Amino acid sequence: MSSADQHTAILKKIARQLGFDFCGIAKAEFLEEEAPRLEEWLNRNYQGQMSYLANHFDKRLDPTKLVPGAKTVLSLIYNYYPEKKLPENPDSIKLAKYAYGEDYHLVIKEKLKTFLEMLREQIGEIDGRVFVDSAPVMERQWAQKAGLGWIGKNSLLLNRKMGSFFFLAELIIDLEATPDSPLAKDYCGTCTACIDACPTDAIVQPGVVDGSRCISYLTIELKEAIPNEFKGQLENWAFGCDICQDVCPWNRFSKPHQEPAFLPHPELEEFTNQDWIEMTEETFRKVFKKSAVKRTKFAGLKRNIEFINSNKS
């Protein structure tokens, strides 16, 4: 067994020990095919007010600019699919499933730091950085390159064994490892369920999302008032949106996660529409103390709830 093969075996063993569902390896190199796609996407202003997406163009495409001497991009999948959806009443306020429990950035980043420590214990000094939806890393493209799935029509990574309700994370390291083969096939076929279901027509063509029209963008990233053209189109989503994932046939393979940190706050499970409307900043701080929902701040979440309810009257 070559040293690259041995390193691959070690990487995959540690991933299993830390509870990651899948682990894929890609060679750290310039993402040549992605460069024109990213440029066109930015030129069409599909990023909306997410101006940070236009920053560090070269770093997004070249991992050696993030970790000098990088040889390997390790992509990891971590399940967040909940045992039960909230709320049980379909007419109530909804949060994206990834936001039910503690902020995934913090939970997974701790695992990745442990991963790097375990790797150094077994192999010796290596240079590397960990990423969880942070820094300019094109995580879906790296995961596809590492054989973990394909980019679906909703632009998310789809995995044949577990759909798309998972987080992606990366380690970029200066360690040589044997790469996995990318999937040679797109398994979406002729299905257009996600495109048909999107109430704001954000999926402008297969695999391309106009971020400025996406409900997740409107409820989280947009800092000003939600444009009136989206009245009646949020379908009760107050933080994020799961519509394109909920209708995806591949998500019939989703199984409940085993991560205690992702369980919802007990009070959140009991929330009624009236509770959402009457929520105080004190309640917001208590229920969402460790949650990704803090990103909208109290005022942002109230804005979203008021926008949703103003369209019902």
Annotated binding-site residue? 194: yes
Catalytic residue among 133, 174, 186, 275: 133
Which letter does DSSP use for residue 5 in this model? H
Annotated binding-site residue? 223: yes
Cβ-based neighbours of 289, under 8 Å, separated by 6 or more: none
Annotated binding-site residue? 23: no
Annotated binding-site residue? 113: no
Q: Which residue, 191, 190, 202, is CA-closest to 247? A: 191
Residue 58 designated active-site: no
Would you tell me how many other CB atoms lie within 10 Å of the CB of residue 201?
10
Q: Which residue, 182, 165, 193, is CA-closest to 255? A: 165
Annotated binding-site residue? 186: no
Extended beta strands in 192-297, E state: 203-205, 208-209, 237-239
Annotated binding-site residue? 241: yes
Annotated binding-site residue? 133: yes
Annotated binding-site residue? 168: yes
Annotated binding-site residue? 214: yes
Annotated binding-site residue? 188: yes
Scanning the chain, the segments in alpha helix (DSSP H) are 3-17, 34-43, 57-61, 104-123, 139-145, 193-197, 215-216, 243-246, 266-270, 273-278, 281-287, 297-310
264-290 residues labelled b (16+ CB within 10 A) or e (exposed):
bbeebeebebeebeebeeeebeebbee
Annotated binding-site residue? 302: no
Angle between helices 104-123 and 3-17 (to 10 degrees): 140
Binding-site entries for tRNA: 223
Binding-site entries: 60, 133, 154, 157, 168, 188, 191, 194, 198, 214, 216, 223, 241-242, 244, 248
**Residues annotated catalytic, as ranges:** 133
Binding-site entries for cob(II)alamin: 60, 133, 154, 157, 168, 216, 241-242
Binding-site entries for [4Fe-4S] cluster: 188, 191, 194, 198, 214, 241, 244, 248
